[in-house]
Amino acid sequence: MKPKVAFFDFTSCEGCQLTVVDSLQTHLDLLNAVEIVNFREAMSERGEDYAVAFVEGSITRASDEARLKKIREQASVLVALGACAHIGGINAIKNLAPLDDVRRYVYGDKADWYETYAARPISAVVPVDAFIPGCPIDREEFIRVVKALLLGKKPPIPDYPMCVECKLKENICMFDKGGFCLGPITRAGCGAICPSYGDGCEGCRGLIPNPNQDAMKDVLKEHGLTVEQVMSRMTMFGAYQLQENKT
């Protein structure tokens, strides 16, 4: 019997689910390996008997927690899909300013009509079994994770820094080009796509476990850059992680 799979989303752009749809361009046989029973963005049928749930998006209001907890109760395997679900992602930028200011800036005197709280990854609300990092997720990595899950294995997510992949691509180092990059402390797996297209890493895949802070500091010193610049760039996708580490 094919495992039943469902997709859900919370606060997000749904770009990771679209990447899943796009993965069918090259892996249409995926539909033979699993049965998708719930995928609101792409289909009308809604089955509630899924074993594997992929969840995209951060949690940004208390009333969404019950829906996520229900998904957790049903799913044997819960996978965080993309940066918003995995580390809070871009939504957590709003956590850097007082919530009341943020609400009034957007909704003015109607701010009270709309519920919100500090953005958080889904792991802040329920236990998560696996994650696929990135903003958006990498199509090939999604396929690798699905294959591993089908075989009952632990998903093969790299725990070394992005610089490793960047070197393998023979890119000129962003720092040597006068740019700025979070590659030394960011989890690999994206194929160093941003430096390959001329932009420094923005850290969307989150910190590697035990990042080599001393090496990062050496690189910064060598190029006349500061730790503050690293922290500031990290707030683009990692604001939640930074605030959690502080407290």
In the complex, minimum distance from the CB of residue 209 to another protein, in angstroms, rounded to a whole number: 25
**Rule CB under 8 A: which residues touch another protein?**
10-19, 21-22, 24-26, 28, 31, 36, 39-46, 60-61, 64, 89-91, 93-94, 97, 101-103, 105-108, 110, 113-116, 135-136, 193-194, 196-199, 202, 236
Whole-angstrom distance, CA of residue 27 vs CA of residue 188: 23
Whole-angstrom distance, CA of residue 183 vs CA of residue 126: 29
Helix (H), strand (E), coil (C) string for 127-157 = CCCEEECCCCCCHHHHHHHHHHHHCCCCCCC
In the complex, minimum distance from the CB of residue 160 to another protein, in angstroms, rounded to a whole number: 22
In the complex, minimum distance from the CB of residue 154 to another protein, in angstroms, rounded to a whole number: 27
- The answer to whether the beta carbons of residues 55 and 28 sit under 8 Å apart is no
- The answer to whether the beta carbons of residues 184 and 205 sit under 8 Å apart is no
* Residue 35 vs 129, nearer CB to another protein: 35
Whole-angstrom distance, CA of residue 77 vs CA of residue 70: 13
Cα–Cα nearest to 177, from 198, 155, 152: 198
Output phi, psi for 192, to 5 deg: 50, 45
DSSP 108: G
* Residue 91 vs 187, nearer CB to another protein: 91
H/E element holding 221? Answer: helix 213-222
In the complex, minimum distance from the CB of residue 91 to another protein, in angstroms, rounded to a whole number: 7
* Residue 154 vs 169, nearer CB to another protein: 169
Q: Could you tell me the two tokens for 176? A: 């040597």
* Residue 143 vs 236, nearer CB to another protein: 236
* Residue 98 vs 127, nearer CB to another protein: 98
Output phi, psi for 68, to 5 deg: -65, -40
Cα–Cα nearest to 242, from 201, 211, 199: 211
In the complex, minimum distance from the CB of residue 216 to another protein, in angstroms, rounded to a whole number: 20
In the complex, minimum distance from the CB of residue 148 to another protein, in angstroms, rounded to a whole number: 23
* Residue 12 vs 241, nearer CB to another protein: 12
Place of tokens 């490793």: 164
